[in-house]
Amino acid sequence: MPRIYFLSNIFSILFITFIVFFSNVILSIHFITLFFAGLVFVSFIQSISFKNYRFLFFIILSFIFIEISNGLAIGSLSLLSFFIYTFIVPKIGNYLESKILYYGLLNIIFYVGVFFLFTINSEIDNILISKILFNCILDILIVSFI
Protein backbone atom coordinates (compact mmCIF):
# COMPACT_ATOMS: atom_id res chain seq x y z
CA MET A 1 0.00 0.00 0.00
CA PRO A 2 1.28 3.48 -0.73
CA ARG A 3 2.26 5.53 2.27
CA ILE A 4 0.18 8.53 3.27
CA TYR A 5 2.85 11.07 4.13
CA PHE A 6 0.52 13.57 5.77
CA LEU A 7 -0.47 11.10 8.47
CA SER A 8 3.10 10.01 9.23
CA ASN A 9 4.26 13.42 10.45
CA ILE A 10 4.11 14.44 14.13
CA PHE A 11 2.93 17.95 13.26
CA SER A 12 0.01 16.63 11.24
CA ILE A 13 -0.93 14.24 14.06
CA LEU A 14 -0.84 17.15 16.54
CA PHE A 15 -2.90 19.25 14.12
CA ILE A 16 -5.48 16.49 13.75
CA THR A 17 -5.63 16.03 17.53
CA PHE A 18 -6.11 19.78 18.01
CA ILE A 19 -8.85 19.94 15.36
CA VAL A 20 -10.60 16.86 16.81
CA PHE A 21 -10.60 18.38 20.29
CA PHE A 22 -12.10 21.70 19.29
CA SER A 23 -14.47 20.44 16.62
CA ASN A 24 -15.96 17.82 18.90
CA VAL A 25 -16.46 20.36 21.68
CA ILE A 26 -18.29 22.80 19.42
CA LEU A 27 -19.98 20.52 16.88
CA SER A 28 -21.13 17.73 19.21
CA ILE A 29 -23.24 20.24 21.10
CA HIS A 30 -25.08 21.30 17.98
CA PHE A 31 -25.40 18.60 15.36
CA ILE A 32 -22.33 16.61 14.31
CA THR A 33 -20.91 13.81 16.40
CA LEU A 34 -17.85 11.65 15.69
CA PHE A 35 -16.28 14.40 13.60
CA PHE A 36 -12.96 13.20 12.06
CA ALA A 37 -13.09 9.81 13.80
CA GLY A 38 -12.28 8.08 10.49
CA LEU A 39 -9.28 10.32 9.93
CA VAL A 40 -8.00 9.50 13.41
CA PHE A 41 -8.63 5.82 12.63
CA VAL A 42 -6.56 5.99 9.43
CA SER A 43 -3.76 7.74 11.31
CA PHE A 44 -3.96 4.93 13.91
CA ILE A 45 -3.58 2.33 11.15
CA GLN A 46 -0.69 4.27 9.61
CA SER A 47 1.10 4.67 12.94
CA ILE A 48 0.99 0.98 13.71
CA SER A 49 1.77 -0.09 10.15
CA PHE A 50 4.89 2.04 9.89
CA LYS A 51 5.90 1.52 13.54
CA ASN A 52 5.51 5.16 14.55
CA TYR A 53 4.52 4.27 18.09
CA ARG A 54 5.34 7.70 19.48
CA PHE A 55 2.30 9.11 17.66
CA LEU A 56 -0.12 6.65 19.23
CA PHE A 57 -0.42 8.67 22.44
CA PHE A 58 -1.98 11.61 20.60
CA ILE A 59 -4.15 9.36 18.46
CA ILE A 60 -5.51 7.47 21.46
CA LEU A 61 -6.01 10.80 23.22
CA SER A 62 -8.10 11.93 20.24
CA PHE A 63 -10.15 8.73 20.42
CA ILE A 64 -10.71 9.24 24.16
CA PHE A 65 -11.93 12.77 23.58
CA ILE A 66 -14.31 11.60 20.86
CA GLU A 67 -15.61 8.87 23.17
CA ILE A 68 -16.16 11.27 26.05
CA SER A 69 -17.99 13.82 23.90
CA ASN A 70 -20.27 11.12 22.43
CA GLY A 71 -20.95 9.06 25.54
CA LEU A 72 -19.09 5.91 24.49
CA ALA A 73 -17.03 3.81 26.85
CA ILE A 74 -13.45 5.02 27.14
CA GLY A 75 -11.13 2.86 25.06
CA SER A 76 -13.85 1.40 22.85
CA LEU A 77 -12.74 3.18 19.67
CA SER A 78 -9.11 2.30 20.32
CA LEU A 79 -10.01 -1.35 20.84
CA LEU A 80 -12.20 -1.32 17.73
CA SER A 81 -9.34 0.18 15.71
CA PHE A 82 -6.87 -2.37 17.04
CA PHE A 83 -9.31 -5.20 16.27
CA ILE A 84 -9.73 -3.96 12.71
CA TYR A 85 -5.97 -3.61 12.32
CA THR A 86 -5.29 -7.09 13.68
CA PHE A 87 -7.98 -9.12 11.96
CA ILE A 88 -9.35 -7.21 8.97
CA VAL A 89 -6.45 -5.18 7.55
CA PRO A 90 -4.35 -8.26 6.64
CA LYS A 91 -7.29 -9.77 4.75
CA ILE A 92 -8.24 -6.62 2.86
CA GLY A 93 -4.66 -5.53 2.15
CA ASN A 94 -4.05 -8.62 0.04
CA TYR A 95 -6.95 -7.95 -2.31
CA LEU A 96 -7.07 -4.19 -2.88
CA GLU A 97 -4.39 -2.27 -4.74
CA SER A 98 -6.04 1.15 -4.83
CA LYS A 99 -5.29 3.43 -1.89
CA ILE A 100 -8.68 5.12 -2.13
CA LEU A 101 -10.61 1.84 -2.12
CA TYR A 102 -8.46 0.39 0.65
CA TYR A 103 -8.87 3.28 3.09
CA GLY A 104 -12.46 3.86 2.03
CA LEU A 105 -13.36 0.26 2.82
CA LEU A 106 -11.48 0.44 6.13
CA ASN A 107 -13.42 3.60 7.03
CA ILE A 108 -16.71 1.92 6.18
CA ILE A 109 -15.80 -1.08 8.34
CA PHE A 110 -14.77 1.27 11.16
CA TYR A 111 -18.06 3.16 11.01
CA VAL A 112 -20.03 -0.09 10.99
CA GLY A 113 -18.18 -0.97 14.20
CA VAL A 114 -18.96 2.48 15.60
CA PHE A 115 -22.61 1.94 14.74
CA PHE A 116 -22.56 -1.32 16.72
CA LEU A 117 -20.92 0.49 19.65
CA PHE A 118 -23.73 3.03 19.61
CA THR A 119 -26.36 0.27 19.45
CA ILE A 120 -24.88 -1.27 22.58
CA ASN A 121 -24.81 2.03 24.48
CA SER A 122 -27.96 3.83 23.34
CA GLU A 123 -31.03 3.72 21.17
CA ILE A 124 -30.85 3.86 17.40
CA ASP A 125 -32.73 6.58 15.58
CA ASN A 126 -32.65 8.13 12.13
CA ILE A 127 -30.59 11.09 13.30
CA LEU A 128 -27.82 8.81 14.59
CA ILE A 129 -27.77 6.85 11.34
CA SER A 130 -27.61 10.04 9.27
CA LYS A 131 -24.78 11.42 11.43
CA ILE A 132 -22.75 8.23 11.05
CA LEU A 133 -23.34 8.14 7.29
CA PHE A 134 -22.44 11.82 6.93
CA ASN A 135 -19.23 11.39 8.91
CA CYS A 136 -18.31 8.22 7.01
CA ILE A 137 -18.70 9.93 3.64
CA LEU A 138 -16.86 13.03 4.86
CA ASP A 139 -13.94 10.99 6.20
CA ILE A 140 -13.71 8.91 3.03
CA LEU A 141 -13.51 12.12 1.00
CA ILE A 142 -10.87 13.62 3.28
CA VAL A 143 -8.72 10.49 3.38
CA SER A 144 -8.93 10.02 -0.39
CA PHE A 145 -7.53 13.53 -0.95
CA ILE A 146 -4.65 13.18 1.54
Domain ranges in the chain?
6-145
Q: By C-alpha distance, which of 130, 67, 136 is closest to 106?
A: 136
Chain-wide mean pLDDT for the chain? 84
State the Cα–Cα distance between residues 124 and 114, nearest whole angstrom.
12
pLDDT of residue 4: 52
Whether 102 contacts 1, CB under 8 Å? yes
| Average pLDDT of the residues in 109-116 | 94
- Say what the pTM is: 0.86
Query: Mean pLDDT: which of 3-17, 57-71, 79-93 is highest?
Result: 79-93
Cα separations (Å) of 12 from 9, 20, 25? 5, 12, 20
State the Cα–Cα distance between residues 68 and 26, nearest whole angstrom.
13
pLDDT of residue 1: 47
pLDDT of residue 78: 94
pLDDT of residue 5: 61
